[in-house]
Structure 1
């Protein structure tokens, strides 16, 4: 009897398929996170602002860890790291936050900075790139949270639900923090001075 119980306990359900929302989320969020890590390292290395540097470090380290976690899922599920399916195809008809997700017409994932915006960030001098970083990362995080919400409602895989929920919580908290940092760096208007 004990061996039957042990066998039942260790039998896994079939892992997600290569075209599943779980696999699509794991692949696409790795790409999305990789750009957040890249932008964060650019500004962390160039900025003299301790608040922005600390935020950039936190984003880079947490999202790099999550990239590793999602890559490990694909290995565990015996799935390839990439797919022939178009990016974001797992989200067709997605309404991760109750709103249809706007897909850029240039083929980029929602929230990704353009190559031109990344160049502007790289070329910005200390004191100038922080606001651009915050603006880009706010949009990046909002789109990442929408992707995570869409994954959450499309899966019953506990690890995917747990990470997608954590991504929504952390990224929306960081959005609020970044909006505060951005507001504190804008010049005061006449109404604000009164």
Structure 2
């Protein structure tokens, strides 16, 4: 799908000062990470003696994190494509482009690792069980993990436009990032694969930074953080 970074502002609304962020550096960095990720993984899975280490088990934190974060990322990409078509605001569209490019590439890395390990991309196990912290989150209406939007919230976002769409997207993405940071940090604390650990650490740093950005963007629109009503 082609993204248009030059869409006009909706209803003549001027872009907000100080919010512009170029999306192409994030896309380039993600593309480079994708290109380097598999070779790095191969290197990390080989011991000093030259023999290959065993691939992670199907129920390992490595496999569980790759599957669950890939699912989490896919919804962030979906949300960002929706808002791209629901507003002309430059700052919101730029944020959406960053998320689409970065998280789609990270998702590709995680799917590639599972394939390299000879593991299925999906598992019947409960999401986040690999975190070993007795997660009590109950999946409901398409929200499989903390931070994920429900089907009803997604459907509502698709009916909105302009400021209403921006606020709904930003609120949903704020919660989404909070859930993503928790999961990524959970893997960092258990990691045995250095390449995957570095990716998870980059998610913690990047999404924590975007949490502050999104909070500021909501404040600019006179809205508070929170879960939008379905």
Both proteins in one fold, TM over 0.5: yes
- 2:189 counterpart SS class: helix
Does the 8 A contact of 1:32 with 1:144 survive in 2? Answer: yes
Answering whether residue 85 of structure 2 is matched by residue 49 of structure 1, we say no
TM-score by length of 2: 0.72
Of residues 94, 98, 103, the one that matches 2:137 is 103
TM-align CA RMSD: 1.8
1:42-121 aligned within 5 A: 42-93=82-133, 103-104=137-138, 106=140, 108-121=144-157
Q: Give the Cα separation in 2 of the matches to 1:56 and 1:8.
A: 42
Of residues 111, 120, 141, the one that matches 2:177 is 141
Answering whether residue 205 of structure 2 is matched by residue 165 of structure 1, we say no
Q: CA deviation at 1:108?
A: 2.2
Q: Give the Cα separation in 2 of the matches to 1:112 and 1:176.
A: 19
Q: Flag the 1:105–1:73 CA change in 2: closer, same or farther, 3 A.
A: closer
Q: CA deviation at 1:126?
A: 2.4
Q: Flag the 1:102–1:89 CA change in 2: closer, same or farther, 3 A.
A: closer
Which has the greater radius of gyration? Answer: 1
TM-score by length of 1: 0.85
Q: Which residue of 2 aligns with 1:192?
A: none
Question: 1:14-73: CA deviations, max 9, x gaps?
Answer: 111000011000000010000000000100122111000000010011000001000011
The number of equivalent residue pairs is: 176
Q: Which residue of 2 aligns with 1:190?
A: none
- 1:154 counterpart SS class: coil
Q: Which residue of 1 aligns with 2:73?
A: 33
Does the 8 A contact of 2:87 with 2:93 survive in 1? Answer: yes
Q: Which residue of 2 aligns with 1:20?
A: 60
- 1:109 counterpart SS class: coil
Unmatched tracts of structure 2, length 5 or more: 1-45, 224-230
Q: CA deviation at 1:85?
A: 1.3
